[in-house]
Structure 1
Amino acid sequence: MRICIVGPSFGYGGANIIAATIGKELAKKNEIYYYSYKFKDNYSDLPESNLFFSSKKENKLLGKLGKGLEMVVKREFTPSKYKKNEINDLFNIINQKKIDIVILNSFIAVTIFAEKIKKNFPNVILIAWMHEAVEHSFGSLTKNYPTAFRKALEVVNQIVCLTKKDLEVFKKYNNNSIIIYNPLQFISPQKSNLEDPVISFTTRLDINIKGLDYLMKIAKNIPDDWTIRVAANGRQDQINKFNKLIEDNKVNEKINYVGALQGEQLIKHYLESSIFISTSRIESFQLVLIEAMECGLPIISFSHSGGREVLEYGKFGILIKNYDVSAMAIEINRLIDNKNKRIDLQKKSIERSKDFQLKKIVDEWIVLLEKWM
């Protein structure tokens, strides 16, 4: 099969890394190409001969004017109108490489390209790979182009999503919708000894979505001899905002920001801690949860859809009513005071992590792709 994976970036970020990981595995028996129409990153060391970038970007001024006029007249706009160069570049790849299947990675790639590809290449199979929580993708993310988003979902051949809640919604637009989990990026034979007075936290520095404001409040309520170590990637402006948040809340001694980590350093980050927490407001599926579970960490998470899916509604970890910071602080302190409880939850984390092994997930993708060929 000749497959092209399309997204705004192949840089840092869960969806980008997962797409690259799955692509590399599929490339063992298929021709896999990658097209990034927005950013020229190659965080996952994809083969440069198979990685393409858009030759031209939209004219921002004309795009802004056009979108503004559409919003005045129709109260929404059509994203594909302002990505003609990017669309034409993808058409060239499809033609030149004789692509059989296009996997559109993320809500915006689906919205921009799906209808145009289906109209010009009706025999090309389109798969929408939806990483975003439905309340987010049908809410703030697509609030300015809801019609284009829904039409795109209807024309693709297949939707791949990450949770049962997502599946229920996507099936209303396209009956060919299934769940395939995102896979673990590593295997760790070593597990945490649960002795270090450290709570690990891994994220990107989006203060609102990742609930970093909640993290400040939680930090004030843990024992003085414990710290929260934050491994996070972000633009410089996001780093500055996060550091200011720490300063304003006077939790410099409680929060240890170590920057972005990957590979062995990321695994060490998990292994040298005893609890992992998630304070996100919205998550469809949180890769960092399963990474922490693979390293044997007990999990405490707000009850966003990703947390509910990974922890199976509390079977494999502790779920906290959304945004109840006091309740989360109480559960953290209970775990801090009770190593036997940490050990019990560690066993559950290790058991659950087996469901996200890379081979298992890749096999599910292979079955799906072969169904269409």
Structure 2
Amino acid sequence: MRTPAALPALAVMLALEACSLSPRYQRPSVPTPPPSYKEAGEWKVAAPADSTPRGRWWTMFNDQALDDLETQVSEANQSLRAALARLEQARAETRIGRAASFPTLTAEASATRQRTSLNAPTYAPGRPTTGDVFIAEGVLGYELDLFGRVRNTVAGARASEQASAGDVAALDLSVHAELASDYFTLRGLDLQQQLLDRTVADYARALKLTENLYRGGAAAIADVQQAQAQLETARTQAEDTRLRRAQTEHAIAVLIGREASDFALPPRAEGAELPVPEVTPGLPSQLLERRPDVAAAERRVAAANAAIGVARAAYFPVFTLAGAAGQESTRASSWMSAPSRLWSIGPQGLLT
């Protein structure tokens, strides 16, 4: 029994599919401190926890107004929407890269009338120069990933997708934290405004009293001027606080995607206290482990490593195993008959 000549070549190609031209990727590591290091007892091996759900952490403040604002920022913030759109784009690119791992099927049907050149090498004297060609053909092709081009493309796309997910998580955390910071800044300005308003009222009464004493000859004009200067200083501070509160309120409006002109956050009732939650102290290293932006940077390094393999594979030809079958005829009446069948199968190589 004779073995077809194409089988050994096909076996070699299939064996080479395990090859990859990208450098072997290893996550960056930091050596552990030596036992003799004086603070080694406080060190710990890093355990990335960037995928740990953070949940609605702002609810620990037990502030309903803050909870409502944080809900709005998740739904309406434009920067967050743009980051989510980039994540969907990265996921689509991953699906596109994975599609190259599967066979591709194309179908073609055409009916053409053509004229053959009399000087063409395939023209036979006496044959008509014009004729019809009817073709219906399907082609099934599969790229033999001999040099890891497809696999590295998929690996790079997945790493980029994970980096985009880290960007979304980092931006989401940053936006929520910025909103909470602005909210408590505004509440602090409310308390400061209440204090300054009371101070202005007290200084106004003090000025009136000093003026009455001056008219009665019991106070000097310098005392009146000093009281008036204190009142004007307090009024200036009160107006500056109102301005800073308005700017903070506008910043909150931008974060939640609202128009600053129609957004208002009324001040708390005088005497209301801001709840202060109990926060469990932790190590700075634990916060570093939960940072999604650090994980996103590491994933981009992995994507760049996979891109090296894709670039190196471009030096080599792309081999494809293709098969075609269909019908071809010069007359429509015999187009779909058995004698019009055609087929082909075999490997192809393309070097660009």
Q: Using CA pairs under 8 Å that are at least 6 residues apart, name the structure with larger relative contact order, 1 or 2.
A: 2
After TM superposition, the score normalised by the length of structure 1 is: 0.19
User: Which entry has the higher C-alpha Rg, 1 or 2?
Assistant: 2
Which is richer in helix?
A: 2
